Amino acid sequence: MNSATDSAPAPVSALIDRLVRPIEDWPVPGVTFRDITPLLADPEALRLVVDALVDVARTTGPIDAVLGIEARGFIFAPAIALELNAGFVPIRKAGKLPSTSFTTSYDLEYGSAELEMHRDALQPGDRVLVVDDVLATGGTMLAAADLVQQAGAQVAGNIVLIEIQALGGQEKLHPVGGSALRTY
Ligand X SMILES: O=P(O)(O)OC[C@H]1O[C@H](OP(=O)(O)OP(=O)(O)O)[C@H](O)[C@@H]1O
Known catalytic residues are: 72, 109
The answer to whether 129 and 80 are in contact (CB under 8 A) is yes
Subset of residues 130 to 159 that bind ligand X, contact rule: CB under 6 A: 132-140
Half-sphere exposure of 175 (CA within 13 A, CB side): 1
Give the C-alpha separation, 32 to 25, whole Å.
6
In 3-state terms, what secondary structure has residue 144?
helix
Contacts to ligand ADE from residues 131-150, by CB under 6 A: 134, 136
Whole-angstrom distance, CA of residue 56 vs CA of residue 53: 5
Residues 13-32 that bind ligand ADE (CB under 6 A): 31-32
Binding-site residue total for ligand ADE (CB under 6 A)?
9
Residue (157 or 169) nearer to ligand X, CB? 169
Task: Of 178, 175, 162, give the one whose Cα is nearest residue 33.
Answer: 162
As measured in angstroms, the least distance from the Cβ of 18 to ligand X is 20
Among 6, 109, 126, 146, binds ligand X (CB under 6 A): 109
**Cβ contact 50:80 at 8 Å:** yes
Q: Does 69 bind ligand X (CB under 6 A)?
A: yes
Residues that bind ligand ADE (CB under 6 A): 31-34, 108-109, 134, 136, 164
Residues that bind ligand X (CB under 6 A): 69-72, 108-109, 132-140, 169
